[in-house]
A and B are shown apart, each in its own frame.
Chain A
C-alpha cells in the first residue's frame, strides 16, 4: 500500500474509537478504546515520515506506543480497581446526543481542514486528529465521573499527537518526548487525585466539587 492509503486506513480506527468512546458507559471499555486509539496513533509518525526511517521517529513511536498502549492502560486499570467504579451513570449529556455531537465535530473538522487548505495527503488525518481533540473535550465537559474526564484528556492528547505527526513530521524529538512525559506524569497524578477524591467524597462525581467553592 502506498502512504496515502495507509494514512487513510489508520484514520478509520481512530474515528471509530472516538464514536465508541462517546457511546460507551463502561469505564473498562473506555480504557481499552483510548489505549487502542493511542496505539494506532503512536505509529502514524512512521507513515508520515518522508524518506527512510530515522532513529528519531523510531524512538518516538516506540516510546509513545509503550506509554499509550501499555503503561497508561495498566495505571488506569489499577486506579479503577482501587476506586471500585464500573460505569459512568447519568452523564450531563446522553449517549445518543453525544454521538451526534461527535459526528458534528467530525464534520466541522473536515470543513476546517478544507478551510485551512490542508494538502490532500494529510487531509483526512488532520480532520481525524481535530475530531479526536474535540471528542476529548466533549468527554471532559459532558461526563460526571472524574475518571471519564481523564479519558477525555487522554483522547485529546491522542488528537494532539496525531496533529503533530500530520502537521510537523520530524519535529524536535525532545519536545515530543517531553510532552509524552508530561502526559505520563499527568496520568499518574490523576490516578492519585481520583483515589483521594474517592476517599474524600465517597465517589468520583465532579459535581460534588461545587461544595468546595467559596
Chain B
C-alpha cells in the first residue's frame, strides 16, 4: 500500500508540476518523466499486491457524506492496475516524442496535467472500495480525457468527438449513481464490503434492475454495442498516445466495473450469463463488421477495440453461465481467459495505436486508401503493426491466442456438461468467438496490407519514415511485454486465478483447487505455448535456411503488383474497400452501407464520368441516438422562452423560487 500511495502522490505532484511549467519544452520533460516514475512505482505496487497473501487495505475518514477514502487492492484491482501503469508509462514515453513538435504551439503543461490526472483517476477507480469515493475517482478518470481529446481543438471533428465523449461519459455516470444509490440503500452503507453482504432475498427483486443499471453505466465506458458510439469518434480524434491509453486501459475500467458489480450482486444467475454472452457476441461481430467499412486507420482500431470488448464480455458471459449452472471449473477457465485477454488487449492495442500514431506522424493522416508501401519506408512500424495485428486476431503464438484458448476450453467444457438449453448458449458463444477471430484476421490483414504493403497510392506516403527513438522505445516495451505474456502464459494463468476466484466467491458451490479435473490448464497452456512457439521457431529456421541457400545465387526482384503488366500504376492496387467487399456485401443490410455508383456509359466512356463510392455510417448512432438527442433538444427548445436575457426577470425567478420553497417548507411544518 505505501508504494501504491507513493505512486499516486508522484502522479499528482507531476500533474501540478507540469501545469506550473508552462506550455513548452519544460512541461514536455517534467510530465513524461514524472508519469514514468509514478507508473513504474505503481507497477511494483500492483505486482506486489497481486502476490500478497492478504489484500492491502487503507481506510481514512472523509468529510463527504457517506464517503470514506477506502482503498483495497485485491487481486482483481491489482490485475487492472497492470494495464493502467504499463500503458501509462508507455504512453508517457511515446507522448513525449509525439508532442515534441508541438512544444509552445499547444499548452503541453495542461496536457500532461490532465494525462497524469487520467492515470491517477483510473488507478484510484480500480482500487476504490467505497461507492462515493469510487464515483469521484470515476469522474476524475472520465473528465480528464475530454481535455486530452481536445488537443487539436481547432478541427471540427475533434470538437464533435470530444463532445460526444463527454455526453457518453456523463450519461454512463448517471446510471452508475442510480446503481450505487439503490445498492447503498439496500446495504445501509456505501462500502463495497457491506454491499457484498446484502442478503440474497433482500437483493433478489432488485437484482435485474441493478444488473442492467451497472451494465448500462459501465457498458458505456467499455464500449459495448449499442453504447459504443463515442469510441470510434474519440479514438481517432485524440492524439495517439492518449488513444493508446484510452483503448488499452480506460475502457477496461468499464470491464472492471462490470466485474466488480457482479461480485456485489450476490449469486450469479444463468440469465446474467446469457445477457452478457449475447452482448459479447453482438459487440464482437458488429464491432468488427462496422470496422471493415472504415477507411481511417485509427477509426478501424477503435472498432477493433469494440470487438475485443465483445470477446471479453463473451468470455464473461460464458464464465457466469458456467458458474450459475454449477460448473465452477469451466467458469474459472473462461474468467481467467477473459482477464488474460484484458491484459493482452491492453498491450497489443497500445502497440497498434502507437503504430498508427507513427503513421499519422509521418504521413499526416490515416486514410488507408491514400497510403500504401509504408513497409519499405517505415520497416520498424510495419513489423510491429503486422505482428501485433496477427497477435490481436488471436493467431498463435500471439499472447491473445492463449487468453482466447482459455475461453474456448472453458466454454467447451461447460457446454459438454450442461443440459441442452444452456449448452446451446455456450456453444453459440464458442462459435461466436471463432467467427469474431476470423473477422479480426480479415480486418487486420486489410488494414496492414493497405497501409504497409504495395506501393504508395498517393504522394503523401512517399516521404514517410520511422518515428524517433523515444516512440520506438515505447513500442518496443509493449511489444516485448506482449511477447513475454505469450511465453509466460502458464505462469500468468496462475496469476489470473485469484482474481477469477474472487469473482466466484459469492457462489454456493465449493471451488475446485485447480479449475478442471478433465484438463489441467497449466499443462494445456504449456503444451500450447511449446507447440506454437516451436512452430514459429521452425518457420524462422526455414526462413534462415532459405536465405542461406539463396545466398550464393542471383535473385531477381520485381516491382510489387507487376504481374507482367506493362504500365502498372499505384492506383491499380487492390483497395481496402474491395478487400472487405465479400464481407460487407454479406452484411450490407445490417451495416446499412451506402453506395453511390454512376456506371460508365457507352462503349468508350469518357474519363471522370463514372464513379463508385461506399460509406459505412454508424447505424446505432444515426438511427437511434441522433433522433433521440434531437428529440431532447426540441423539448429543451421550449425552455428557451425563459432565456430572454432580461436580468431583472432572472432574479425574479430566483426570488419566486425562494418564496415558493419557503411557503412549501412552512406548509410541511404545519
Chain A residues at the B interface, C-beta cutoff of 8 Å = 92, 112, 115-116, 137, 140-144, 149, 206-207, 209-213
Task: Find out whether the CB atom of B644 lies under 8 angstroms from the CB atom of A141.
Answer: no
- B residues near A209, Cβ cutoff 8 Å: 645-647
Task: Find out whether the CB atom of B645 lies under 8 angstroms from the CB atom of A141.
Answer: no
Task: Find out whether the CB atom of B651 lies under 8 angstroms from the CB atom of A141.
Answer: yes
- B residues near A210, Cβ cutoff 8 Å: 644-646
- Closest-by-CB residue of B relative to A206 is B647
Q: Which residue of B647, B655, B662 has the most chain A CB atoms within 10 A of its CB atom?
A: B647
- A residues near B523, Cβ cutoff 8 Å: none
Task: Find out whether the CB atom of A140 lies under 8 angstroms from the CB atom of B651.
Answer: yes
Task: Find out whether the CB atom of B651 lies under 8 angstroms from the CB atom of A213.
Answer: no
- Closest-by-CB residue of B relative to A140 is B651
Could you tell me the dominant secondary structure of chain B's interface residues?
helix
Shortest distance from the beta carbon of B368 to any chain A beta carbon, whole Å:
40
- B residues near A140, Cβ cutoff 8 Å: 648, 651
Question: B652 within 8 Å of A by Cβ?
Answer: yes
B651-670 interface bits toward A, Cβ cutoff 8 Å, 1 = contact, 0 = none? 11001000000100010000
Task: Find out whether the CB atom of B648 lies under 8 angstroms from the CB atom of A213.
Answer: no
Shortest distance from the beta carbon of B650 to any chain A beta carbon, whole Å:
9
- A residues near B652, Cβ cutoff 8 Å: 141
Once the chains are docked, how many angstroms separate the CA of A116 from the CA of B651? 26
Shortest distance from the beta carbon of B284 to any chain A beta carbon, whole Å:
44
- B residues near A213, Cβ cutoff 8 Å: 643-645
- Closest-by-CB residue of B relative to A153 is B651
Task: Find out whether the CB atom of A141 lies under 8 angstroms from the CB atom of B643.
Answer: no
Chain B residues with a Cβ closer than 8 Å to the other chain, count: 12
Q: Which of B603-658 contact A (CB under 8 A)?
A: 643-649, 651-652, 655
- Name 11 A/B residue pairs within 8 A (Cβ), A-sorted: A112-B662, A112-B666, A115-B666, A116-B666, A137-B655, A144-B648, A206-B646, A206-B648, A207-B648, A209-B645, A209-B647
Shortest distance from the beta carbon of B254 to any chain A beta carbon, whole Å:
35
Once the chains are docked, how many angstroms separate the CA of A210 from the CA of B643? 10
Task: Find out whether the CB atom of B651 lies under 8 angstroms from the CB atom of A212.
Answer: no
- Closest-by-CB residue of B relative to A212 is B645
- A residues near B647, Cβ cutoff 8 Å: 149, 206, 209
- B residues near A143, Cβ cutoff 8 Å: 648
Once the chains are docked, how many angstroms separate the CA of A115 from the CA of B667? 10
Once the chains are docked, how many angstroms separate the CA of A213 from the CA of B643? 8
Task: Find out whether the CB atom of A141 lies under 8 angstroms from the CB atom of B646.
Answer: no
Could you tell me the dominant secondary structure of chain A's interface residues?
helix
- B residues near A206, Cβ cutoff 8 Å: 646-648
- Closest-by-CB residue of B relative to A137 is B655
Chain B residues at the A interface, C-beta cutoff of 8 Å = 643-649, 651-652, 655, 662, 666
Which 5 A-B residue pairs are closest in the complex by CB-CB distance? A213-B645, A210-B645, A141-B652, A206-B647, A137-B655
Task: Find out whether the CB atom of A207 lies under 8 angstroms from the CB atom of B646.
Answer: yes
Once the chains are docked, how many angstroms separate the CA of A212 from the CA of B650? 14
Once the chains are docked, how many angstroms separate the CA of A149 from the CA of B646? 13
Task: Find out whether the CB atom of B648 lies under 8 angstroms from the CB atom of A137.
Answer: no
Shortest distance from the beta carbon of A115 to any chain B beta carbon, whole Å:
6
- Closest-by-CB residue of A relative to B666 is A115
- Closest-by-CB residue of A relative to B655 is A137
Task: Find out whether the CB atom of B655 lies under 8 angstroms from the CB atom of A92.
Answer: no
- B residues near A142, Cβ cutoff 8 Å: 648
Once the chains are docked, how many angstroms separate the CA of A144 from the CA of B651? 13
Once the chains are docked, how many angstroms separate the CA of A137 from the CA of B655? 7
Shortest distance from the beta carbon of A10 to any chain B beta carbon, whole Å:
25
Q: Kindly list 7 other residue pairs between chains A and B, CB separation below 8 angstroms, not including A209-B645, A212-B645.
A: A92-B648, A115-B666, A140-B648, A141-B655, A143-B648, A206-B646, A206-B648
- B residues near A137, Cβ cutoff 8 Å: 651, 655
Shortest distance from the beta carbon of A166 to any chain B beta carbon, whole Å:
17
- Closest-by-CB residue of B relative to A211 is B645
- Closest-by-CB residue of B relative to A111 is B666
Once the chains are docked, how many angstroms separate the CA of A115 from the CA of B648? 30
Once the chains are docked, how many angstroms separate the CA of A111 from the CA of B36? 66
Once the chains are docked, how many angstroms separate the CA of A141 from the CA of B656? 11
Once the chains are docked, how many angstroms separate the CA of A144 from the CA of B646? 10
- A residues near B648, Cβ cutoff 8 Å: 92, 140-144, 149, 206-207
Once the chains are docked, how many angstroms separate the CA of A209 from the CA of B648? 10
- B residues near A116, Cβ cutoff 8 Å: 666
- Closest-by-CB residue of B relative to A115 is B666
Once the chains are docked, how many angstroms separate the CA of A112 from the CA of B655? 16
Once the chains are docked, how many angstroms separate the CA of A144 from the CA of B648? 8
Once the chains are docked, how many angstroms separate the CA of A2 from the CA of B486? 91
- B residues near A207, Cβ cutoff 8 Å: 646, 648
Once the chains are docked, how many angstroms separate the CA of A149 from the CA of B648? 9
Shortest distance from the beta carbon of B90 to any chain A beta carbon, whole Å:
43
Shortest distance from the beta carbon of B42 to any chain A beta carbon, whole Å:
41
Once the chains are docked, how many angstroms separate the CA of A83 from the CA of B666? 44
Shortest distance from the beta carbon of A189 to any chain B beta carbon, whole Å:
16
- Closest-by-CB residue of B relative to A210 is B645
